[in-house]
Amino acid sequence: MIPGAALADWLADREPQRRSQRRVDAFAQKWGTHPLMTQLEREVSELDPRTVDTLLAAARRFMDKTQEIETMMRELIATSRLDPFFRPPFHPLTSEVQNSLLLYHHPDLSISLGITGVDMLAAKKSGRTGPASVNFTGYASLLRFLKAGGATLSFWEAPQIEDTFVAAEAGSCRMVERRRIADGEEIVIDGRRQSFVIEHATGDILIFQAVARAGCSPVGTEYDHDSRRFIGASSTDEVSSRLQMMVSLLRAMGRDDAFPLFEEALASPQFYTRWYVMREMLAMDADAALPSLRRMAADDPHPEVRAAAQQALQLFFQEEEEAAAGEGGDAKCPA
């Protein structure tokens, strides 16, 4: 990158860099201690029960405070104009069609303010090389279209994602409605069985979005837009995703001493994590993993995990299982 004159001057002088950082820190402090945020924090922490409905109600009360939010956003914009190197102290959320700022985050609730660009939508549609899909996030979302941009949305439904989700029983999705969205309109999407697709827009879309994670499904699902058939699933649990990453890293590093930790991770409440950990255990030390694999094949509560473990026994440990059965061992071999 070749910096312009203003950037080169800023990079060469520590004082303007410090000024920019002080502005970031000052706004972060003001936002964090503003009654908008302290009241929301208090409400969420005191919710009992903490359900999708109570969480989204707290988010709605936050969004309703339009005057206070606009005042803070105007100050943010004014500071950005004053200092081109000022960066809003919010985590950015980006996708192919949307840029958002994460205004509030709690393990059970997040609130963001974002823009879906009409040019970004057009670029995605014109540049698509594969089939389009419809995604069901597994979370409940509240969306308030501050500026709808003349958007037309299609609304979709699919079989509800349960804790015992089985891919073979995912069925197909169907479109239930297509309509234009008005400025100020609010919709709630239960991502366990509902989704939407922005079909068309004539201008940029400004959206407040709240995502409630309480009661979410273990996975989000994806269906082919044209055939309506199920094509894949992904984790909704950040902790499980990190656990899988760490297990893979330890296995790649050859950390045999971590094997007991792998065995503990087999108690994960997420069925896909249990099987992922087992795969890494087999890759690390198949013989040591065999007792746990046998237990999984016999007793795991999820049918797909049991089936996968039984198949692994048949493919890789057939002789051991036959020998154990012949000796009257306690191994439970699949039929």
Site of tokens 């201690």: 33
Helix (H) or strand (E) holding 4: none
203 and 255, same domain (yes or no) = no
3-class SS of residue 166:
coil
Final residue before a domain boundary, out of 183, 200, 235: 235
Give 304's Cβ-side CA count (13 Å radius): 15
What does the pLDDT read at residue 149? Answer: 95
31 and 178, same domain (yes or no) = yes
195 and 259, same domain (yes or no) = no
Q: Does 319 have pLDDT greater than 80?
A: no
Nearest to 174 by CA among 197, 196, 156, 200: 156
189 and 83, same domain (yes or no) = yes
Nearest to 69 by CA among 44, 24, 101, 99: 101
Final residue before a domain boundary, out of 179, 205, 235: 235
> Can you give the pTM of this predicted structure?
0.82
Nearest to 220 by CA among 230, 237, 235: 235
- Whether residue 333 is contained in a domain is answered as no
What does the pLDDT read at residue 327? Answer: 65
- Whether residue 13 is contained in a domain is answered as no
Residues 201 and 125 sit within 8 Å (Cβ to Cβ): no
- Whether residue 193 is contained in a domain is answered as yes
Compare 318 and 111 and report the one with higher pLDDT. 111
193 and 265, same domain (yes or no) = no
What does the pLDDT read at residue 238? Answer: 86
Helices (H) and strands (E) in the chain, counts: 12, 12
Q: Does 44 have pLDDT greater than 90?
A: yes
151 and 267, same domain (yes or no) = no
Residues 301 and 38: their CA atoms lie apart, in Å, by 42
Domain hosting residue 66, numbered range? 18-235
Compare 85 and 325 and report the one with higher pLDDT. 85
Q: Name the burial class of residue 187, with classes exposed (0-12), middle (13-18) and buried (19+) by CB atoms within 10 angstroms of its CB.
A: middle
3-class SS of residue 97:
coil
| Structural domains in the chain (count) | 2
Final residue before a domain boundary, out of 235, 261, 277: 235
Residues 333 and 326: their CA atoms lie apart, in Å, by 11
Residues 154 and 197 sit within 8 Å (Cβ to Cβ): yes
